[in-house]
C-alpha cells in the first residue's frame, strides 16, 4: 500500500501480524510508524518496544512478541534498520507469519522490501506493507492541501499550495515544517491566506537561498559557508535549506539548458520561471555556475538529497557544504 494514502486514511481495524515500512522518503516512514503506533497501542507508550536490526536476536524479538502486554490489548515491536536482519532471518520470519503472535505486532523499518519475495507476499496477506516513496511533482500540491487539513486542521487553496511548493520545493519534511509554522501563526483561524505564506514562507526561503547563491556568484565561497553554518546553528533544518536552494538551482538548470540550445539568457530565465525582479541576480548565478557544471548539477542535487536522507553516514552540514563547493569549483 502507498504510505501516503495510509497516513491520510482512517482505518478502523488495527493492522496485525507483521508490518513492513520501507522506502527512501524518511518523512513518510516516520509518519507511517506514528500512524501504526496510534492504531495498535494508542497513547500507551509502554506498549512499544524498539530493537535494532544490527545487533538484535530473533529469539529476543519473538519473546517480546509473545509476552502479554501489561496495559492494553496489544504490543508493538519495532525493528529499526531491519534490512540485514531480514536477509539473515527471512525463512524464520516467513514461518512466524504462519502463526503470528496474538499479543504483538512486528514492524520492520527497511530501505528496500522487494514485492516479489515470498516474505513480502506473506506480509501482504497477513499484515501490511507500506511503501514510502516521494509523491510525483504534480502530486505534491494536492498533498500540501490535504496535509494542511489532516495534520493541522487548516484550509489551504490549491493556488496557495502551489505558491508554497514554488518557493520551497517539493520535499515533504520541509513543507510540513512550513505548514506547522503557518498553523501556529494563524492561531484559531481555520484558513491560511496569501499574506501568511508570503510573510512566513516565501520571504524566508527566497532570502536564504538568494543570500547563499549571491555569495557564490561573487566568488565569496567562505561567506556562503558562513551563512549556511549560521542557519544551521539557528535551528534551521538542513532539509529546508536544501529545498530552497534546490528550487532555485533547478530553475537555473532549466534556463542553462535553454541557453545551450540558443535561447537568449533573459528569455531562458523567464521560461524557467525566474521572476522579473530576480533576473539580474539569476543571470549572475547562471554565469558563475557555467555550462559544464549545469550539466552535472542535477546529479549533484540528487546525491545531496540522498545523503540528507541517510544514504551515506555524512553529517548534513558536510553534505550541504560539498554541494556549495561543487557549484563553483
- Kindly report the three-state secondary structure assignment for every residue of the chain: CEHHHHHHCCCCCCCCCEEEEECCCHHHHHHHHHHHHHHHCCCCHHHEEEEECCCCCHHHHHHHHCCCCCCCCCEEEEEECCHHHHHHHHHHHHHHCCCCCCCEEEEEEECCCCCCCHHHHHHHHHEEEEECCCCCHHHHHHHHHHHHHHHHCCECCHHHHHHHHHHHCCCHHHHHHHHHHHHHHHCCCCECCHHHHHHHHHHHHHHHHHHHHHHHHCCCHHHHHHHHHHHHHCCCCHHHHHHHHHHHHHHHHHHHHHHHCCCCHHHHHHHHCCCHHHHHHHHHHHHHHHHHHHHHHHHHHHHHHHHHCCCCCCCHHHHHHHHHHHHHC
Are residues 102 and 181 located together in one domain of the fold? no
Specify the CATH number for the domain of residue 87. 3.40.50.300
| Residue pLDDT, tens place only, 231-248 | 788 777 787 788 878 888
Grid coordinates belonging to 127: 499484515
| Mean pLDDT in residue range 175-187 | 89
**Mean pLDDT across 179-185:** 91
Asked if 196 and 119 sit in the same domain, the reply is: no
**Are both 99 and 173 inside the same structural domain?**
no
Residue 173 shares a structural domain with residue 196:
yes
- Decide which of 80, 99, 131 is a domain's last residue: 131
In this structure, the answer to whether residues 149 and 73 fall within a common structural domain is no
Q: What is the pTM of this model?
A: 0.63
Report pLDDT for 204.
61
Given a cut of 90, whether residue 74 has pLDDT beyond it is no
Residue 329 has pLDDT above 80, yes or no: no
| 117 and 143, same domain (yes or no) | no
Same domain for 93 and 221: no
Residues 17 and 64 in one domain: yes
As a whole number of angstroms, the distance between CA 38 and CA 318 comes to: 35
- pLDDT for residue 13 is more than 70: no
Instruction: Count the domains in the chain.
Output: 2
Residues 37 and 176 in one domain: no
Per-residue DSSP letter, 155: B
Please check whether residues 179 and 297 belong to one and the same domain.
yes
Shared domain for 87 and 210, answered yes or no, is no
Domain extent for 160? 137-328
- Which whole number is the average pLDDT over 13-21? 85
Specify the CATH number for the domain of residue 283: 1.20.272.10
135 vs 268, residue with greater confidence: 268
223 against 328, higher pLDDT: 223
Distance of CA 100 to the CA centre of its chain: 32
Residue 205 has pLDDT above 60, yes or no: no
pLDDT, one tens digit per residue, over 272-319 is: 888 787 788 888 888 888 888 888 898 999 999 888 888 888 888 999
| DSSP symbol at 278 | G
* Cell reading at 96: 512466524
- Compute the Cα dihedral for 105, 108, 114, 119 and give only its sign: negative
Q: Are 124 and 102 in contact (CB under 8 A)?
A: no
Of 81, 101, 131, the one marking the end of a domain is 131
Amino acid at each position: 500500500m502507498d504510505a501516503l494514502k495510509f497516513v491520510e486514511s482512517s482505518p478502523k481495524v488495527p493492522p496485525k501480524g507483521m508490518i513492513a515500512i520501507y522506502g527512501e522518503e524518511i518523512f513518510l516512514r516516520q509518519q507511517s510508524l506514528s500512524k501504526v503506533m496510534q492504531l495498535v497501542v494508542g497513547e500507551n507508550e509502554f506498549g512499544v518496544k524498539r530493537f535494532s536490526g544490527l545487533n538484535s536476536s530473533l529469539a529476543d524479538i519473538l519473546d517480546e512478541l509473545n509476552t502479554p502486554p501489561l496495559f492494553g490489548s496489544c504490543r508493538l515491536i519495532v525493528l529499526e534498520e531491519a534490512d540485514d536482519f531480514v536477509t539473515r532471518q527471512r525463512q524464520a520470519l516467513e514461518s512466524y507469519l504462519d502463526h503470528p503472535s496474538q499479543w504483538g505486532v512486528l514492524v520492520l523499518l527497511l530501505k528496500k522490501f522487494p514485492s516479489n519475495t515470498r516474505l513480502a507476499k506473506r506480509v501482504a496477506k497477513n499484515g501490511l506493507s507500506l511503501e514510502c516513496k516521494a509523491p510525483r511533482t504534480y502530486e505534491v500540491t494536492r498533498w500540501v492541501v490535504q496535509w494542511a487539513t489532516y495534520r493541522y486542521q487548516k484550509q489551504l487553496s490549491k493556488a496557495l499550495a502551489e505558491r508554497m511548493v514554488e518557493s520551497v520545493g517539493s520535499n515533504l519534511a520541509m513543507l510540513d515544517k512550513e505548514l506547522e509554522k503557518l498553523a501556529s501563526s494563524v492561531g484559531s483561524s481555520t484558513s491560511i491566506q496569501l499574506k501568511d505564506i508570503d510573510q512566513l514562507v516565501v520571504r524566508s526561503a527566497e532570502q536564504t537561498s538568494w543570500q547563499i547563491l549571491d555569495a557564490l556568484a561573487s566568488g565569496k565561497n567562505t561567506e556562503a559557508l558562513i551563512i549556511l553554518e549560521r542557519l544551521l546553528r539557528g535551528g534551521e533544518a538542513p532539509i529546508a535549506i536544501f529545498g530552497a536552494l534546490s528550487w532555485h538551482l533547478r530553475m537555473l538548470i532549466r534556463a542553462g539548458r535553454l541557453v545551450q540550445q540558443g535561447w537568449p539568457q533573459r528569455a531562458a530565465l523567464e521560461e524557467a520561471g525566474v521572476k522579473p525582479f530576480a533576473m539580474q541576480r539569476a543571470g549572475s548565478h547562471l554565469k558563475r555556475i557555467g555550462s559544464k557544471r549545469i550539466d552535472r548539477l542535477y546529479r549533484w542535487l540528487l546525491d545531496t538529497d540522498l545523503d540528507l536522507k541517510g544514504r551515506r553516514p555524512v553529517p548534513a552540514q558536510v553534505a550541504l557544504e560539498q554541494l556549495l563547493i561543487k557549484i563553483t569549483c
